[in-house]
Amino acid sequence: MAKTPVRTRRSGSQLSPEAIIEASLRIAARGGEDAFTVRRLGEELGADPTAIYRHFRDKDELLLSVADRVYGEVLEGVPGGLGWKDRLRALARESLRVGLKYPAVASITASRTTRRINEFRIVELILGVVTEAGLDGADAALYYRVVADALLSYVGQSAAYVLFAPEIRAGDESAWVREYRTVDPERFPVITRLGTELAEVSSEAVYDVRVEALIAAIEARAASLPEDAARA
pLDDT of residue 232: 52
Indicate if the pLDDT at residue 13 is higher than 60.
Answer: no
pLDDT of residue 157: 97
HSE-CB for 211 with a 13 A CA cutoff: 23
Mean pLDDT of the region 159-167: 94
- Percent of the chain residues past pLDDT 90, beyond the cut: 87
d(CA 29, CA 66): 12
Residues 111 and 222 in one domain: yes
Residues 51 and 15 in one domain: yes
Could you report the per-residue pLDDT of 127-162, keeping only the tens digit for each? 999 999 999 999 999 999 999 999 999 999 999 999
Phi-psi group of 75: left, alpha or beta (phi > 0 → left; psi -120 to 50 → alpha; rest → beta) = alpha
Residue 41 within any structural domain of the chain:
yes
Instruction: Provide the whole-model pTM.
Output: 0.89
pLDDT of residue 131: 98
Q: Which residues contact 90 (CB under 8 A, 6 or more apart)?
A: 77, 78, 79, 82
Residues 44 and 96 in one domain: no
Residues 34 and 109 in one domain: no
179-to-148, 168, 183 alpha-carbon distances in Å: 34, 15, 7
Domain range for 136 is 71-163+202-231
Residue 177 within any structural domain of the chain:
no
d(CA 58, CA 224): 48
Q: How many domains does the chain have?
A: 2
Could you report the per-residue pLDDT of 171-230, keeping only the tens digit for each? 999 999 999 999 999 999 999 999 999 999 999 999 999 999 999 999 999 999 997 665
Residue 9 three-state SS: coil
